[in-house]
Structure 1
């Protein structure tokens, strides 16, 4: 059975009312490690259906995807072809854009092997609240291989931006919390409309300022990914 992770978000009645009346949505971004530089974070999760106690839940269930979408700020990356993947597997892309999954890849990561000359945009998706959404967009050159490893680290932020999942985003919309779940499957945080995010005395989260650059926080480039 796939491992599940959960972040519990607590809101006061006053904060909930303000968020709702002012048109805020809850956004989440997910961190990855990649062997290729030039990757971009994508909006992974969005909802305006939040309550005083709201849970963001995801599972270790993945997909690899390819796309013709250009990676530009504010642009949408559409997963035009995708395939279910397990960590350690490789997604082979033929010259027509067909995907097949094979074993024998890099441990704890998903590899995407381009077997043709056509360049693609690629990345991995992960299930959150029952839906698989892309987490990142990474260039995949012809006859090359990208290796992408998911990291259980999530950035949460409330914002009034009208941005959908799969959108390239280089700056944090608003004040955020970067929550690390690499050592625990559940974390609990609170948000106050004026005071921002809090989580007690834990060292597993950090505050992120509005307009902070997301790439250093969410896309780690490492040749040994």
Structure 2
């Protein structure tokens, strides 16, 4: 089981301005999948930040289902992980009831997780992971939502790519967000040689990091779906 972390630092003026203006730190996580129609979910949010901040996570994963009457998720809508199961690459969550419950079995893949809907009911589904903030581990929270139709298998692979932003939109963990009001930074650990990376934030110039390929600047208002839902061969 691997682990990753991002150290975020800022100066005192930036910290004061962020807090006075009601900014919250938001974290999103990417996934590789062949299924379209997904919604990025806020993985973590806090206003309890300081001059030096550490976001971390491990590759431990849960699969979830959420019964629904529609697979269209609106901006700001909360998705609740109604049932969760510990799962890893090479395993399938077989959904066998209208409540979204089931069992985890082997699927023979080396990298992929399957969520197999053997019912005729419609669900939202996805993966949950545990983020640690300032070294303290939190709860497992959903990182995205995909439609899961009757008789369909969704194939997903966790991507060690995260998007971080300071934003004034009142979003909390589990809420869908397709765009943000502020610039964000996409950090792709598959392009990095380290598992801990350092970035800085300033109130007017926003995110800064070295020029390595693992960082992508994301403008305010940019669509998040193409950044966080990746093709399985990426």
Q: Indicate the TM-score class for this superposition, using the shorter chain for normalisation.
A: over 0.9
Query: More displaced, 72-81 or 55-64?
Result: 72-81
Tell me which residue corresponds to 1:53. Answer: 52
The one of 206, 216, 219 equivalent to 1:209 is 219
Q: Any idea what SS the aligned residue of 2:17 has? A: helix
- Give the 3-state SS of the residue equivalent to 1:143 in structure 2: coil
Deviation at 1:105, TM superposition (A): 4.5
Show structure 2 runs of 5+ residues with no match. Answer: none
CA RMSD for the aligned pairs?
1.5
Provide the rounded CA distance (Å) in 1 between the counterparts of 2:169 and 2:33.
Answer: 28
**Matches of 2:74 and 2:180, distance apart in 1:** 16
**What is the CA deviation profile of residues 182-224 of structure 1, one whole-angstrom value per residue up to 9, with x for unaligned ones?**
13311110000011100123221011000100011001244x6
Aligned mate of 1:154, from 144, 156, 162: 162
Query: Which residue of the other structure, out of 74, 89, 95, is the alignment partner of 1:72?
Result: 74
Q: Deviations over 1:45-101 (max 9, x none)?
A: 111111111001101111100112442222111111111111221111002321211
Per the TM alignment, residue 144 of structure 1 is displaced from its structure 2 partner at its CA by 1.1
> Partner of 1:102 in structure 2?
105
Normalising by structure 1, report the TM-score.
0.94
Q: Distance in 2 between matches of 1:139 and 1:201?
A: 36
- Report the TM-score when normalising by structure 2: 0.91
Moved more, 199-208 or 138-147: 199-208
Q: Which shows bigger deviation, 151-160 or 101-110?
A: 101-110
Q: Distance in 1 between matches of 2:108 and 2:195?
A: 25
- SS of residue paired to 1:217: helix
Q: Report what 1:190 is aligned to.
A: 200
Q: CA–CA distance in 2 between the matches of 1:75 and 1:161?
A: 13
Distance 1:173 1:105, change over 3 A: farther
Aligned residues: 223
Provide the residue aligned with 2:124 in structure 1.
121
Partner of 2:89: 87
For residues 172 and 106 of structure 1, the distance between their equivalents in structure 2, rounded to whole angstroms, comes to 35
Pick aligned residue for 1:170 from 163, 174, 178: 178
Equivalent-residue separation in structure 2 for 1:163 and 1:77 (angstroms): 12
Once the two structures are superposed, residues 11-49 of structure 1 have per-residue CA deviations (whole angstroms, 9 ceiling, x without a partner) of 111111111111111001111111211111111111111
Q: After the TM superposition, which parts of structure 1 deviate over 3 Å for at least 4 consecutive aligned residues? A: none
SS class of match (2:170) = coil
